């Protein structure tokens, strides 16, 4: 859980940079986020290598969710993400992990590989607005989202836009 705290602290520090414009990869907050992600990925790779996916019966529901978060942010190592996607799929089938987590990782890997996502969890900024990256069979996306415990796509986009929108009068 300490690794999740570091992950989230790094993202919180970088959050103001994600409000629509290009992101400077040399900004200290972006570099720190990449360092945290790399350290977490290396650690999780050891955990997975030693005992497979850390499912709920092994590490508790919070620990299983934490493992998902760490691999979700391991974008610099797509082969590792793909390996974990297969392990997470098996864990969900065995009741060891949440379908929501599998949905997010499925979309993250697909978008990272340039293919349409399935659940609409991956958003991007276009003309100052948050929009989903391309979605396979987008007419049925809310059905798929509901099946894994996610709310409607429009509500998700609205909430995410609010989170990333710079607040008026907010100090940098």
Per-residue pLDDT of the chain (172 residues; tens, 9 = 90+): 999 999 999 998 988 787 666 788 899 999 999 999 999 999 999 999 999 999 999 999 999 999 999 999 999 999 999 999 999 999 999 999 999 999 999 999 999 999 999 999 999 888 878 899 999 999 999 999 999 999 999 999 999 888 776 554 443 3
* Residue 37, pLDDT score: 97
* Residue 163, pLDDT score: 79
CB atoms within 10 A of CB 28: 10
* Residue 125, pLDDT score: 84
Question: Is residue 92 domain-shared with residue 148, that is, in the same domain?
Answer: no
* Residue 4, pLDDT score: 96
Let me know if residue 49 belongs to a domain: yes
* Residue 130, pLDDT score: 87
Let me know if residue 171 belongs to a domain: no
Count up the domains in the chain and report the number.
Answer: 2
Question: Is residue 7 domain-shared with residue 66, that is, in the same domain?
Answer: yes
Q: Which residues contact 54 (CB under 8 A, 6 or more apart)?
A: 47, 48, 63, 64, 67
Q: Where are the beta strands (DSSP E) in 35-160?
A: 123-126, 129-132
- Give the domain extent around 132: 116-166
Let me know if residue 121 belongs to a domain: yes
131, β-bridge pairs: 124
β-pairing verdict for 129-132 and 123-126: antiparallel
* Residue 148, pLDDT score: 96
Using CA atoms, how far apart are residues 34 and 95, in angstroms rounded to an integer? 31
Domain end (from 97, 129, 155): 97
Question: Is residue 5 domain-shared with residue 70, that is, in the same domain?
Answer: yes
First to last CA, the chain: 28
Using CA atoms, how far apart are residues 125 and 46, in angstroms rounded to an integer? 34
Q: Which residues contact 142 (CB under 8 A, 6 or more apart)?
A: 152, 153
Place of tokens 């990925």: 41
CA pseudo-torsion sign 94, 96, 100, 101 = negative
């Amino acid at each position: 859980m300490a690794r999740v705290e570091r992950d989230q602290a790094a993202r919180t520090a970088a959050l103001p940079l994600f409000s629509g414009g290009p992101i400077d990869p040399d900004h200290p907050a972006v570099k720190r986020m990449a360092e945290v992600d790399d350290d977490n990925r290396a650690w999780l790779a050891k955990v997975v290598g030693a005992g497979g996916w850390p499912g709920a019966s092994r590490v508790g529901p919070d620990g299983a969710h934490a493992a998902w978060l760490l691999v979700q942010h391991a974008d610099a190592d797509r082969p590792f993400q793909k390996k974990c996607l297969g392990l997470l799929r098996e864990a969900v089938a065995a009741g060891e992990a949440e379908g929501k987590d599998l949905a997010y990782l499925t979309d993250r890997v697909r978008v990272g590989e340039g293919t349409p996502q399935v659940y609409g969890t991956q958003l991007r900024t276009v003309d100052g607005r948050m929009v989903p990256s391309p979605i396979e069979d987008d007419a049925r996306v809310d059905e798929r989202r509901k099946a894994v415990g996610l709310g409607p796509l429009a509500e998700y986009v609205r909430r995410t836009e609010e989170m990333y929108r710079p607040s008026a009068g907010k100090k940098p």
